[in-house]
Chains A and B, each alone.
Chain A
Amino acid sequence: MADSGSNGRTRSLTLDGDEVSFQEGESLYEVARRNRRPVPTLCYDDRLEAFGACRLCVVEIEGMKSPAASCTTEAQPGMVVRTRTEELERQRKILLEMVVSENPAADISPLRGHASQELGQLAEEYGADGSRFQGARSGSSYRGDPNPMILRDYDHCISCYRCVRVCAEQEGDYAISVANRGFQTSITTEFAGRLENSECTFCGQCVQTCPTGALADLRALQSEGEVKDFELTRSICPFCGVGCSVDIMSNDDKIIGVRPAMDGPANEGALCVKGQFSWDWVQHTDRLKTPLVRENGVLVETDWDTALNRAAEGFRKVREQHGRHAIYGIASGRAPHESSYAMQKFIRAGFGTNQIDNCSRA
């Protein structure tokens, strides 16, 4: 991905009248995007092999009878390519109208997932409301899965296969596949059962790539009633040492979800079940909200001054009575550097000893 084509030789073609260069192996879609002539897509995900299913990305190539899907067509020297002719735009609108008529695209909550607005935005951009193709709605919701993380709302499935492909190509899990085509489409697991009884690891990759919200983040949807919009704050997952980049979704000092950062250097858009879904402990009612001190054998709530004075006093006493080597610090491997740095400085600068360790030995 990052280095694709970096060793290819440079060639050129004509794109909407301009001569542009490209690297061997680049698709027409990639060339167009790089030259700020974005072509609309639905079944495309940067991280996946191009699939060529939705045909929204079609472009005209001089000398070819019919338009070609730009995502699956390799750029060739001398090609003359047009991305936005009236005819192409008309075809795209018809395609979108057909899709929308089968799959209600309006009012999909952005809480559902990273790509959940793609269809809705395109439908709006093209003024495709689906009224032209009154007909059966495709798919059906799978309500038999009680897991609290992934909603399977197949009313919205458009058979782009992005979920199936991300699971196979990115996750390497092969947990899901597509059953039936057309109106009966649904994304299914082995034996059509619950996700938890399949190979699924609940990484949420399928949720985040779904362009319609058919697969959706149920943890985030918990806030659907209260929250209209949200902020994204770039951070790093708090669990294992891989250090996946995440975007924390928050609204008015409430964390409402987590999304993978597609440009995160360690994860390139991937997360696991913990990073994706297990954030609800942060604002859990069990959180310690005040300092505590032990009074008559029990821990009682107090203010910072009382607690800090008591804590300092205890260290002072032990230093006086038993010497500075009697004090020991254990720093956290889960807190940021600023915590462990301050811990070791507190022990070293405070007591002149090296009585400090962290939690890596157990």
Chain B
Amino acid sequence: MSNPLVDMEKPDVIFCIGTNMTVTHPVAATRLKKAMARGAKLIVADPRNIPLAHKADVHLPLRVGSDTALLGAMAHVIAREGLMDEAFIRDRTEGFETFRKHVEKFTPEWAEGITSVPAADIERAAILYGKAERGAIYYTLGVTEHICGVDNVQSLCNLVLMTGNIGREGTGINPMRGQNNIQGAGDTGALPNNYPGFQPVVDPANQVKFEKAWGTKIDLEKGITKVRALEIAGEEILAMLICGENTVVSDPDRAHCEHALKSLDHLVVIDIFKTETAEIADVVLPASAWGETDGTYTNTERRVQRVRAAVKPQGLARPDWWILAQLATRLGICGFEWNGAREVFDELCKLSPTYYGLDWDLVEEGRHHWPVPQKGHPGTPILHIGEFPRGRGLFMTPEYRDPAETIDDEYPVWLTTGRRLAHYHTRTMTGRAVGSEYLVPEELLEVHPDDVENWGLEDGGDAVLSSRRGAVLIKVCATTQSPRGTVFCSFSFDDVPINALTGSGYDPITDTAELKVCPVRIEPAQTDPVP
């Protein structure tokens, strides 16, 4: 997030796109509710009738995967109506003229044809955001889990740049991170292109820096992404070390993924449960869990915070860093002689420009938002004040592209996926929590009541849901939360492995899977269960 969570109470116009925030980030959503209670206007762009949409001043129920068209048209309207922040564009951006010409063709009428959102509503939303004193954008995976995820984010950046809604309190472009420390995983350099602190591995200066720190020369070439690694598993990738990820259930195209992992010579899994992924490993190493482990997380607002052990680990379980140090020692890899989480974190801080001013003691109360470039620095709650990392903000010119697969006679229904409030991810944790299981004991396919009738389904009855990759049996729930022609379910339940269906394509730049769009066919289940 460019801005801290407290800023969510301060915008006068809130634009939520691709985020079912009351379900995925409930406590953050309470802040938006407070802003609204104080008079802030809310625009919600989401294909479904999610709870936030009920509270919206303008709901834009776009067809799944059509975000780039919608956002292009909003930019068109803002330009046409002259609602730009001219001073901001002049002083802080470049490429605006090219961009202005680029969006000329994106009329709201054109976008209506693609998104099915009435042109008049697109205009209303654009004008509302364009006129905002403090406009803030919030988004989640509904924006990024597409083959055009990067285009979508760039389209949002364009809106921000043309209206100057950045670098100030209550504004900004704010992706909400889905997992407790997914921000931290990137910050610490668990990425094929970056060392800790987002230092590119292709930069020879960084190569030298880390050679000095670790005593090994590391390739100047980027590694491949996980998606590519799974593609060539068994051919070029022959050993994997997977830590705390239930790849088999969370990743798209389950059959392919399981096959990939099984074709490895060597698979080592570090986890707290015997997950579906651990089941196929050669070695499974028991990790200490939350509540048993000292360490640090970074949340979605870049706040670095301490987690603490309250109890002893179960059985022989040990912290991940200890396990990795043990492995390293056995392979003759130096530099893992740590005596506790504190030493690991302090080493990270010394090597990361974003954490350089931090150390174990300083994050005690979680007061800092990174970057904290030097000791004594108070942290950076609001990014991009006065300047962007590259200097001027650059307008990009994305074009609308169809999803990897679109509906046709054989697969005539859009499936989109997401989360349930009571559950987390693949349910390895919440599936073992009494409260969560009480509230949401099973997965349901949300179908509009008219579609339930038209497709010969039954509310509460079983249906077979199939895509070009596979089929699952799932119980139907009639609800107007789904629009006609689009169905929804979560990816949390292993007995409804929705990732057997998804995985039609990937964003060409980030390799993020198109989990939000998948054409499917739905038929009432016969008495015989699907194979």
**Residues on A with beta carbons closer than 8 Å to the beta carbon of B255:** none
**Residues on A with beta carbons closer than 8 Å to the beta carbon of B282:** 293-294, 310-311, 314
Please judge, given known A-B contacts A328-B239, A330-B247, A354-B223, whether A341 and B347 are in contact too, CB under 8 Å: yes
**Residues on B with beta carbons closer than 8 Å to the beta carbon of A336:** 181, 184, 293, 295-297, 307, 320, 341
Residue of A whose beta carbon sits closest to that of B55: A172
Question: B251: CB under 8 A from chain A?
Answer: yes
Question: B46: CB under 8 A from chain A?
Answer: no
Please judge, given known A-B contacts A308-B327, A314-B283, A346-B328, whether A352 and B179 are in contact too, CB under 8 Å: no
Docked CA distance A213–B331 (Å): 56
Please judge, given known A-B contacts A337-B188, A341-B344, A358-B186, whether A288 and B273 are in contact too, CB under 8 Å: yes
Contact of B177 among A170, A241, A327 (CB under 8 A): A241
In the complex, which residues 323-362 of chain A have their Cβ closer than 8 Å to any Cβ of chain B?
A: 325-350, 352-362
Question: A94: CB under 8 A from chain B?
Answer: no
Contact call B315/A289, Cβ cutoff below 8 A: yes
**Residues on B with beta carbons closer than 8 Å to the beta carbon of A23:** none
Question: B191: CB under 8 A from chain A?
Answer: yes
**Among the listed stretches B402-410, B459-467, B507-515, which one makes contact with chain A, having 4 or more residues with CB under 8 Å of it?**
B507-515
Contact of A245 among B272, B291, B310, B366 (CB under 8 A): B366
Closest approach, in angstroms, between the C-beta of B225 and any C-beta of chain A? 6
**Among the listed stretches A8-16, A114-122, A156-164, A268-276, which one makes contact with chain B, having 4 or more residues with CB under 8 Å of it?**
A268-276
Closest approach, in angstroms, between the C-beta of B459 and any C-beta of chain A? 17
**Residues on B with beta carbons closer than 8 Å to the beta carbon of A345:** 214, 324, 335-336
Residue of B whose beta carbon sits closest to that of A354: B223
Please judge, given known A-B contacts A243-B299, A282-B291, A362-B515, whether A272 and B307 are in contact too, CB under 8 Å: no
Contact of A339 among B187, B300, B319 (CB under 8 A): B319
Question: A64: CB under 8 A from chain B?
Answer: no
Question: B173: CB under 8 A from chain A?
Answer: no
**Residues on B with beta carbons closer than 8 Å to the beta carbon of A238:** 180, 290-291, 307, 429
**Residues on A with beta carbons closer than 8 Å to the beta carbon of B511:** 361
Q: How many residues of B contact A (CB 8 A)?
A: 151
Docked CA distance A237–B297 (Å): 10
Interface centre among A201, A241, A352 (most CB of B within 10 A): A241
**Among the listed stretches B25-33, B98-106, B156-164, B448-456, which one makes contact with chain A, having 4 or more residues with CB under 8 Å of it?**
B25-33
Contact call A361/B438, Cβ cutoff below 8 A: no
Quick one: CB contact mask for A290-305 with B, threshold 8 Å, 1 for yes? 1111100001000110
Docked CA distance A311–B293 (Å): 23
Contact call B289/A287, Cβ cutoff below 8 A: yes
Residue of B whose beta carbon sits closest to that of A303: B316
Contact call A202/B435, Cβ cutoff below 8 A: yes
Residue of A whose beta carbon sits closest to that of B183: A241
Question: B178: CB under 8 A from chain A?
Answer: yes
**Among the listed stretches A32-40, A74-82, A176-184, A227-235, which one makes contact with chain B, having 4 or more residues with CB under 8 Å of it?**
A227-235
Question: B58: CB under 8 A from chain A?
Answer: no
Closest approach, in angstroms, between the C-beta of B509 and any C-beta of chain A? 11
Contact call B219/A352, Cβ cutoff below 8 A: yes
**Among the listed stretches B75-83, B124-132, B263-271, B471-479, which one makes contact with chain A, having 4 or more residues with CB under 8 Å of it?**
B263-271
Question: A284: CB under 8 A from chain B?
Answer: yes
Residue of A whose beta carbon sits closest to that of B32: A172
Contact call A331/B311, Cβ cutoff below 8 A: no
Please judge, given known A-B contacts A240-B25, A254-B311, whether A312 and B436 are in contact too, CB under 8 Å: no
Question: A244: CB under 8 A from chain B?
Answer: yes
Interface centre among A2, A250, A338 (most CB of B within 10 A): A338
Question: B205: CB under 8 A from chain A?
Answer: no
Contact call B237/A328, Cβ cutoff below 8 A: yes
Docked CA distance A327–B232 (Å): 12
Closest approach, in angstroms, between the C-beta of A110 and any C-beta of chain B? 17
**Residues on A with beta carbons closer than 8 Å to the beta carbon of B87:** none
Contact call B182/A361, Cβ cutoff below 8 A: no
Contact of B182 among A267, A344, A360 (CB under 8 A): A360
Contact call A338/B300, Cβ cutoff below 8 A: no
**Residues on A with beta carbons closer than 8 Å to the beta carbon of B367:** 265
Docked CA distance A329–B26 (Å): 32
Docked CA distance A161–B189 (Å): 49
Contact call A316/B331, Cβ cutoff below 8 A: yes
Question: B117: CB under 8 A from chain A?
Answer: no
Docked CA distance A5–B37 (Å): 20
Quick one: CB contact mask for B290-332 with A, threshold 8 Å, 1 for yes? 1111011111110101111111101111111101111110110
Contact call B327/A337, Cβ cutoff below 8 A: no
Please judge, given known A-B contacts A243-B305, A291-B285, A315-B266, whether A356 and B182 are in contact too, CB under 8 Å: no
Question: B483: CB under 8 A from chain A?
Answer: no
Closest approach, in angstroms, between the C-beta of B504 and any C-beta of chain A? 13
- The A-B contact count (CB < 8 A) is 497
Question: B97: CB under 8 A from chain A?
Answer: no
Residue of B whose beta carbon sits closest to that of A314: B266
Docked CA distance A325–B233 (Å): 12
Question: A126: CB under 8 A from chain B?
Answer: no
Contact call B424/A239, Cβ cutoff below 8 A: yes
Interface centre among A250, A317, A362 (most CB of B within 10 A): A362
Contact call B325/A335, Cβ cutoff below 8 A: no
Question: B176: CB under 8 A from chain A?
Answer: yes
Question: B119: CB under 8 A from chain A?
Answer: no
Question: B245: CB under 8 A from chain A?
Answer: yes
Docked CA distance A41–B237 (Å): 65
Closest approach, in angstroms, between the C-beta of A228 and any C-beta of chain B? 17
Question: A309: CB under 8 A from chain B?
Answer: yes
**Residues on B with beta carbons closer than 8 Å to the beta carbon of A328:** 223-224, 226, 229, 233, 237, 239-241
Question: B528: CB under 8 A from chain A?
Answer: no
**Residues on A with beta carbons closer than 8 Å to the beta carbon of B314:** 283, 287-289
Contact call A318/B239, Cβ cutoff below 8 A: yes
**Residues on A with beta carbons closer than 8 Å to the beta carbon of B310:** 231, 233, 235, 248, 250, 255
Contact call A362/B510, Cβ cutoff below 8 A: no
Question: B524: CB under 8 A from chain A?
Answer: no
Contact call B216/A344, Cβ cutoff below 8 A: no
Contact call B283/A266, Cβ cutoff below 8 A: no
Contact call B236/A330, Cβ cutoff below 8 A: no
Docked CA distance A346–B365 (Å): 29
Docked CA distance A238–B241 (Å): 22
Question: B385: CB under 8 A from chain A?
Answer: no
**Residues on A with beta carbons closer than 8 Å to the beta carbon of B56:** none
Contact call A273/B435, Cβ cutoff below 8 A: yes
**Residues on B with beta carbons closer than 8 Å to the beta carbon of A271:** 27
Question: A226: CB under 8 A from chain B?
Answer: no
Closest approach, in angstroms, between the C-beta of B486 and any C-beta of chain A? 21
Closest approach, in angstroms, between the C-beta of B35 and any C-beta of chain A? 10
Residue of A whose beta carbon sits closest to that of B268: A311
Question: A203: CB under 8 A from chain B?
Answer: yes
Contact call A355/B180, Cβ cutoff below 8 A: no
Docked CA distance A112–B461 (Å): 40
Contact call A289/B317, Cβ cutoff below 8 A: yes
Q: A171-B30, A293-B284, A333-B184 are in contact. List 19 more A-B contacts (CB 8 A).
A: A202-B422, A219-B435, A240-B25, A248-B310, A272-B26, A278-B429, A281-B430, A290-B316, A310-B283, A331-B243, A333-B245, A336-B320, A339-B321, A340-B188, A344-B196, A355-B223, A358-B190, A361-B227, A361-B512
A residues at B contact (CB < 8 Å) = 2, 147-149, 170-172, 196, 201-203, 219, 231, 233-245, 248, 250, 253-255, 265-267, 270-275, 277-284, 286-294, 299, 303-304, 307-312, 314-319, 321-322, 325-350, 352-362
Q: List 28 A-B contacts (CB under 8 A).
A: A149-B438, A236-B307, A240-B24, A240-B178, A241-B176, A241-B177, A245-B366, A248-B310, A250-B310, A255-B310, A274-B423, A278-B430, A279-B433, A281-B429, A281-B432, A287-B317, A292-B286, A314-B266, A321-B238, A326-B239, A327-B237, A328-B241, A332-B181, A334-B181, A344-B188, A356-B223, A360-B185, A361-B226
Nearest 6 A/B pairs, CB to CB: A289-B315, A243-B299, A336-B295, A332-B244, A172-B33, A241-B177
